[in-house]
Amino acid sequence: MKDASVGRPIDRVDGPLKVSGRAQYAAEIPVANITHALIVTSAVARGRLLGVDTSRAEQVPGVLRVITAENAPRLPGAKTKSDANDRLLQVLQEDEIHYADQPIALIVADTLESAQEAASLVHARYASTAPRVEFERNTGDEYEPAKAGPVGPATSKRGDFDAAAKNAAVRIDQIYTTPVQNHNPMEPHGLTVIWQGEDHVTLYDTSQGIFGVKKKVSALFGIPPENVRVISRYVGGGFGCKGSPWSHVGLAALAARVVKRPVKLALTRQQMFSLVGHRPPTIQHLVLAADRSGKLLGMQHESWSETSRFDEFVEPAAVQTRMLYSCPNVTTSHRLVRLDVPTPTFMRAPGESTGTFALESSMDELAAALELDPIELRLRNYAERDEGEDKPWSSKSLRECYRQGAAKFGWAKRRGEPRSLRDGRYLVGYGMASATYPARQSGASAVARLRRDGSVLVQAGSQDIGTGTYTIMAQIAADALGLPVERVQFELGDTTLPETPVSGGSQTASSTGSAVKLAALALRDKLIALAIADPQSPLHGTRGELLKSSAGELTLGDGARKDSFSALIERSGQPELSAQAWTKEKEQRKNFSLHSFGAQFVEVRVDEDLGEVRIARALGVFAAGKILNAKTARSQFLGGMVWGIGFALEEQTVRDARSGRAITRDLSDYHVPVHADVPALEVISVAEDDPHVNELGAKGIGEIGIRGITAAIANAVFNATGKRVRDLPITLDKLI
Ligand code: MOS
């Protein structure tokens, strides 16, 4: 189709609004009579509040109220015991302290400055005991959760690992660890809350899942869901921490109810380190057993991670080991240890990013032990079907990713022997790793509306967390309707629009995109029916299947007879013509295992004297089905790869074992990659046609970019230095 829009690298439609500062974020919505709320947090990690002295804080001019557990209204839906799939919030309903920097008071004031001054004057007394914020494996206090989060059972077993491992010629048996990481989107969490009377509320929130926020607020306050409206037009980065509502959402709504005025609440960067979840640390024990040719005979992957005392989150780190390679004997398990820490949560490619570090490091160790090229080892264990699920792949182009990546990267120049490539004072190393991520889809709905001017407005609740949702949805609708993309406007971020799933798990393009496509097709079919039935239409009485829709017109055959969208609606006399669609997960998906795949290639330079690691270049090759917009897709892949650099070399939240508090709690102490850490990165998208995955053939690309790259870097460091670092991040002290 000559006016096809899908796939084209068009600019983000919301780009000009964002770079010019006109896009309004949740905590900067101008509202008359606004007040400012600020959370005060606990100085201890474990114990009980004996009392909170608010007398001095209350005297600060401009302070309207200081709310504590003593005077906070009881919330009917506030729970203090966890149940499945509903995160427990700390909204000033109890005296227990479960983790350091838990909310213990809330200041509401006319200005932020008054609130800040008052916050500094709140004095709390505690009965506290020493917290435990670190764990080892096999200390007897771990337990096996019911499930590995939302992604399947906590354990798996196929074949007989022990028997296979006993007879194997080669075994790699190692422990890998990953640290606590905290999400640091550019826009910290924040919201503006406006109550309309006692039982209707509007929240402007920064969220990956507005319908989840609606449900939670409705439950907390005991008001009907239809009385809660959540609006989230722009989100300055999500990464998982904005996937579920946290305590501050409930607290802001509570504050607005108490002072009977609108409230604005923004977390400080420091508060992001305790109030919105984190990636839990993992300890992973991996055993690979192979024959002399490198054929995997057995794999065992055990993972331990932390959760809070009061709630449960499992980092599903062993899950990809069930499917990434062909191997007859595989066991995996996940165990949790309860600590005095906040509840961990999803962070970009949760589980799989920590898990591929261990698995793909281990594969590199096996290749080194066998003196085999790492790509060759992977090809010898290529999984032609998903042996964990025992299903065929819906599509898989990993072989092609290895091939194109190796050629483009110049993999043949790699020397197998560590420390054999030098450039002046630098040791040079090459590393690679595989990447994979599930192609998810959830039910979604959307509506398409043709307006009198012939343009189309498409609406779905949804969210654009910076990934390009506004843009790709307009592209999808434009092609389905046969309209130039400029004539399609897409609106999202409002719970009064059709319901869609959370923008997590790389599923928005797949889920909401499918609904948008079906709504647009339904609208087109309505137009065709209208034309055929309309005696004034040149297409009157023609057959629908002979009509083509393109450039805002319906045409028959060579185009001698045609009618335009705008003429059709004009003659209909209607103000607009609309069609809504609801999608479910495609039935045929059940017969397949659905994943995107990729291969990551990295060259590092290591200063031999200082141990400093620099990424010289990196190449990510990804096959993720249909690419809906080449530019926004590339940005997603690159963003994941940049995070991988931070994951491998920089990011870690350090806790003070005595207080339980995060010490690295701002961007000067918590290191993320800056421009100087990131070389020119390259991305190749491997063309892939997947008829099974969804209406669009798109697998989702938000998370695969961060997978495998961490191991590729560690493997390159080994190739450069001969040192295998199994404990992230790879800081220079581990190399000297
Ligand atoms: Mo992503 S961690 O699935 O928001």
503 alpha carbon to ligand 1 midpoint, in Å? 7
Residue ranges lining ligand 1, Cβ < 6 Å: 208, 238-240, 243, 346-348, 350, 504-505
Query: In ligand 1, which atom is closest to the CA atom of 506?
Result: 3
DSSP states of 393-408: BS---HHHHHHHHHHH
The CA distances from residue 218 to 74, 88, 275, 445, 498, in Å, are 14, 15, 21, 21, 18
Query: For the chain, how are helix, strand and coil distributed in percent, rounded to 5?
Result: 30, 25, 45
378 alpha carbon to ligand 1 midpoint, in Å? 28
Mean pLDDT of all residues belonging to the chain: 96
pTM greater than 0.75: yes
Ligand 1 site-directed mutation target among 348, 352, 507, 706, most atoms within 8 Å of CB: 348
436 alpha carbon to ligand 1 midpoint, in Å? 15
Residue 562 token pair: 């045609």
Ligand 1 site-directed mutation target among 181, 465, 703, 707, most atoms within 8 Å of CB: 703
Q: Are 353 and 645 in contact (CB under 8 A)?
A: no
Query: In ligand 1, which atom is closest to the CA atom of 240?
Result: 4
**What is the residue whose two structure tokens read 């194997």?**
168
Query: In ligand 1, which atom is closest to the CA atom of 238?
Result: 4
**What is the residue whose two structure tokens read 């483009």?**
408
- For residue 279, give the 3-state DSSP assignment: strand
Q: Whose CA is nearest to atom 4 of ligand 1?
A: 240
Catalytic residue among 306, 312, 682, 703: 703
Ligand 1 site-directed mutation target among 346, 352, 465, 701, most atoms within 8 Å of CB: 346
- With a cut of 70, which residues of the chain have pLDDT below it? 1-3, 83-85
Query: In ligand 1, which atom is closest to the CA atom of 347?
Result: 2
φ and ψ of 565, to 5 deg:
-55, -45
Residue positions counted in the chain: 736
The type of residue at 404 is: Q
The CA distances from residue 332 to 53, 303, 312, 666, in Å, are 50, 8, 19, 36
Calculate what percentage of the chain has a pLDDT beyond 90. Answer: 96
The reply to whether 70 belongs to the active site is no
346 alpha carbon to ligand 1 midpoint, in Å? 6
Q: What is the pLDDT of residues 97-114, one digit of tens each?
A: 999 999 999 999 999 999
Query: In ligand 1, which atom is closest to the CA atom of 346?
Result: 2
**Within a 13 Å sphere around the CA of 509, how many CA atoms are in the beta-carbon half?**
29
320 alpha carbon to ligand 1 midpoint, in Å? 16
Query: In ligand 1, which atom is closest to the CA atom of 239?
Result: 4
What pLDDT is attached to residue 79? Answer: 81
What pLDDT is attached to residue 84? Answer: 61
Q: Enumerate the H helices of 48-97 as residue ranges.
A: 55-58
**Intra-chain end-to-end CA distance of the chain, in Å:** 59
348 alpha carbon to ligand 1 midpoint, in Å? 5
For the chain, give the longest Cα–Cα distance: 85
Q: What is the pLDDT of residues 13-32, one digit of tens each?
A: 999 999 999 999 999 999 99
Q: What is the pLDDT of residues 382-392, one digit of tens each?
A: 999 999 999 99
688 alpha carbon to ligand 1 midpoint, in Å? 24
> What are 163's strand-pairing partners?
none
